[in-house]
C-alpha cells in the first residue's frame, strides 16, 4: 500500500490503537528501539522527538508485534489495518536475502 507520511495517516493509525483499547503517548525517555509497550496497561509510549514518518513506522511495527483482536475495529479501520500489515510483510519479504 502506498500511503503518504502525513499527520492524517498518523491520526488514522492512532485511531486503530484507540479502537483496540490502547493509549498512544509521545514522551521522552531512554528507549533503545524508540518505543515501549506496556502490555498490562495497554499503553504504547513512543519517543516524542520522532518526526511524523518515524512515528508512523514505529506504530506500524508495534501493530505487527502485539496480539490484536480485530473484532474491535470498524470496517474502515480493519481494511486500513490489513493494508498496513500486508504492506509491511511485503516490505520485509523484499528485504530478506534470497537463498
**pLDDT tens digit string along 19-74?**
999 999 999 877 777 788 887 888 999 999 999 999 999 999 999 888 888 888 99
Number of domains in the chain: 1
Indicate if the pLDDT at residue 11 is higher than 90. yes
Query: Given pLDDT bands bounded at 50, 70 and 90, which one contains residue 76?
Result: very high
Residue 27, domain member (yes or no): yes
Residue 59, domain member (yes or no): yes
pTM attached to this predicted model: 0.79
Indicate if the pLDDT at residue 97 is higher than 80. no
Residue 66, domain member (yes or no): yes
Q: According to the model, what pLDDT value does residue 90 have?
A: 40
Return the C-alpha cell found at 38. 506496556
Give the domain range for residue 37. 7-95
Q: According to the model, what pLDDT value does residue 79 have?
A: 92
Distances (CA, A) of 1 to 8, 23, 27, 79: 16, 25, 29, 11
Residue 1, domain member (yes or no): no
- Residues 6 or more apart from 36 whose CB is under 8 A from it? 29, 44, 45
Residue 67, domain member (yes or no): yes
User: To the nearest whole number, what is the mean pLDDT of the chain?
Assistant: 82
Amino acid at each position: 500500500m502506498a500511503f503518504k507520511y502525513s499527520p492524517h495517516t498518523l491520526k488514522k493509525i492512532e485511531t486503530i490503537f484507540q479502537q483496540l483499547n490502547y493509549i498512544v503517548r509521545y514522551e521522552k525517555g531512554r528507549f533503545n528501539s524508540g518505543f515501549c509497550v506496556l502490555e498490562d496497561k495497554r499503553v504504547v509510549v513512543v519517543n516524542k522527538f520522532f518526526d511524523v514518518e518515524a512515528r508512523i513506522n514505529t506504530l506500524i511495527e508495534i501493530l505487527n508485534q502485539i496480539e490484536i483482536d480485530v473484532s474491535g475495529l470498524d470496517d474502515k479501520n480493519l481494511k486500513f489495518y490489513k493494508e498496513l500489515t500486508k504492506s509491511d510483510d511485503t516490505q520485509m519479504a523484499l528485504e530478506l536475502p534470497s537463498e
